[in-house]
Structure 1
Amino acid sequence: MQRYSKVMIYAHWATALLILGAWITSEGGRHMRENPSLLHFSLGLGVLVLILPRLISRLLGGAPPAEDDQSRWMTLAAKAGHGLLYVFMIGLPLTGWYAASRMGISVSFFGIGVPALTGAVQGPAGPIAEIHQTAGTIILYLAGLHAIMALWHHFVRQDGTLRRMNPL
């Protein structure tokens, strides 16, 4: 059994915790202007920060190949699912950062200020803010499906897929 690299394993679990924490600490709509969740911003930007080492590690061979006995469609579905998760892990923090900038909210990464991505506007933050809010729910469904598939591999197929991502 080939395992994921330590970088991939720890970044994976840290990202999962950051995404869950960002969702728990989120505030929607006009409440964000009145009482912005600085922890939400930091957790979301933490996801973005972890993407770079994850992608570098993946490109350098930190992710083992799929199990050989998988069907072709399962391998393609796994690749598509992982690709979609990466799109959301990059897109969500960027759209949140952009939406906060449009609302005139100062964003920081655990106390370190980051520049605004755009100028502040009066009124609604626009469709990017709505996309961010909807995508925040969608990524939870995707992550849940990801977890269900890992458990299916572990308990039904018994192929070691989940053990390859075990940090211990």
Structure 2
Amino acid sequence: MDARNGHVSRYSKGMIVIHWVTAVLIVAAWFTAEGGRHVVANPPLLHFSLGLAVLALTVPRLILRVVGQTPPPPDERRAWMALAAKIGHAVLYAFLIGLPLSGWYAASRLGVPVSFFGISLPTIAAPVQGAPGMIADIHENAGTVILYLAGLHALIAGWHHIVLRDGTLRRMSPL
């Protein structure tokens, strides 16, 4: 926040929309998740579509970040806070990319056809008879981990807003 005029640098409208839609999609994907080999008989098609929508939104989100659609951090930030924010965002982006891809991989290993809102997608791994492997196990656990990370992200934003009063939360506010 610019202390002289109280102005808060905001994210672009596109980044704000993508951020909040992604948050909703992650929660919805978690609630529609099913694990184990029984997904072969009854594939969670909505879960697949929601997860792949997260991946689809992550691409333009990264592009907007690269082309400068993110505001600079508040001037009063300490160096360690800026570094922590970069690491935290990198971890979240790794999950936003890794979770959908690992889910697609696990479904392929199970021999389950994957579709994105009715559009059939190719398999990305050969089907197996036994357990789909470690990537599938990681996918199941990482789905819960990303919820914890998102919660921590929200708590830190709240801390910035309530304790530091630096305008960080308002930068991503849809209002």
Band of TM-score, shorter chain:
over 0.9
Structure 2 portions without partners, runs of 5+: 1-7
Mapped partners of 2:122, 2:37: distance in 1: 22
8 Å contact kept, 2:99–2:139: yes
Partner of 2:63: 56
Which residue in 2 is equivalent to 1:114? Answer: 121
Match of residue 141 from structure 1: 148
Q: Contact conserved, 1:28 with 1:133, CA < 8 A, in 2?
A: yes
AA at the equivalent of 2:41: E
TM (norm. structure 2) is 0.93
Distance 2:94 2:160 in 1: 24
Sequence identity percentage: 64
1:20 — aligned with what?
27
- RMSD of the TM alignment (CA)? 0.8
Moved over 3 A (4+): none
- Report which of the two structures shows the higher radius of gyration computed on alpha carbons: 2
Secondary structure of 1:108 counterpart: strand
Match among 95, 119, 124 for residue 102 of structure 2: 95
Partner-residue secondary structure (3-state), 1:70: coil
Match of 1:42? 49
* Alpha carbons 1:45, 1:109 under 8 Å: kept: yes
Q: Is residue 7–residue 53 contact of structure 1 (8 Å, CA) maintained in 2? A: no
Tell me, yes or no, if structure 1 residue 30 matches structure 2 residue 37. Answer: yes
Deviation at 1:27, TM superposition (A): 0.5
TM-score (norm 1): 0.97
Gaps in structure 1 of 5+ consecutive residues: none
1:142 Cα offset (Å): 0.6
1:131 counterpart = 2:138? yes
1:116-161 CA-to-partner distances (Å, cap 9, x unmatched) read 1012111111111001111111111110100000111111111111
